[in-house]
């Protein structure tokens, strides 16, 4: 059981940000459904997919961008999950606002320089170069959070052939390649 699932087991009200099609969230929510379950997604084509996947768990899925004012009351959630959704100084403040005292914000971010070598091959530049651990830590701390754990990982992405690269890039249209 991963950390997100362990935290979910103790939660009464959870928000999952940038749910995509609900693939990850549906896997961790199946064993425990908090009283309030809301997922937001900022890429419109994914909203219907997420609604279909998460409705059986009683989750409400709404269209909302992470950087706008979040459509929730102050202190509404005791757990906020953000797996690969963008974070900036505005969204960090909004997450802090909607999180109840003692609540937990768990995030996993992709560094904005991810795939930099592949981008170079296509004469492209990173779309979110400021999305780094250093900057995200600063946004979160400045919003009022106490950071208990943060680390970064760097590794290689290997493609076996050109078809694999094309498939990969079609699956992640938000990159700048």
Tens digits of residue pLDDT in 4-37 = 999 999 999 999 999 999 999 999 998 888 899 9
What kind of fold does domain 3-108 have according to CATH? Rossmann fold (3.40.50)
Burial class (CB in 10 A: 0-12, 13-18, 19+), 152: exposed
Q: Where are the alpha helices (DSSP H) in the chain?
A: 3-9, 23-29, 44-54, 89-98, 116-121, 133-143, 162-171
User: What is the pTM assigned to this prediction?
Assistant: 0.88
Query: Tens digit of pLDDT for each residue in 96-155?
Result: 999 999 999 999 988 888 888 888 888 988 888 888 999 999 999 999 999 999 998 888
Q: 1 falls in which pLDDT band (50, 70, 90)? A: low
Q: What are phi and psi of 90, to 5 degrees?
A: -75, -45
Question: pLDDT (tens digit, 9 = 90+) per residue, 30-64?
Answer: 888 889 999 999 989 999 999 999 999 999 999 99
The phi-psi region of residue 24 (left if phi > 0; otherwise alpha if psi is between -120 and 50; otherwise beta) is: alpha
According to the model, what pLDDT value does residue 38 have? 97
**What pLDDT was estimated at residue 82?**
94
Looking at the predicted structure, is the pLDDT value of residue 171 above 70?
Answer: yes
What per-residue confidence (pLDDT) applies to 173?
A: 72
d(CA 85, CA 17): 6
pLDDT for res 91: 92
pLDDT, position 115: 87
């Amino acid at each position: 059981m991963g950390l997100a699932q362990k935290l979910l087991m103790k939660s009464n009200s959870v928000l999952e940000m940038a749910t995509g099609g609900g693939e990850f969230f549906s896997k961790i929510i199946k064993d425990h459904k908090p009283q309030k379950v809301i997922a937001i997604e900022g890429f419109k084509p994914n909203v219907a997919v997420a609604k279909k996947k998460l409705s059986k768990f009683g989750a409400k899925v709404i269209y909302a961008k992470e950087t706008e004012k979040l459509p929730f009351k102050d202190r509404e959630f005791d757990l906020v999950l953000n797996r690969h959704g963008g974070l900036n100084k505005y969204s960090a403040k909004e997450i802090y606002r909607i999180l109840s005292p003692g609540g937990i914000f768990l995030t996993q971010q992709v560094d904005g320089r991810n795939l930099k070598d592949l981008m170079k091959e296509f004469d492209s530049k990173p779309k979110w170069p400021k999305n780094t651990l250093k900057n995200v830590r600063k946004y979160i701390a400045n919003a009022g959070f106490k950071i208990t754990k943060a680390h970064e990982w760097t590794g290689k992405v290997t493609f076996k052939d050109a078809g694999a690269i094309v498939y990969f890039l079609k699956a992640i249209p938000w990159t700048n390649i």
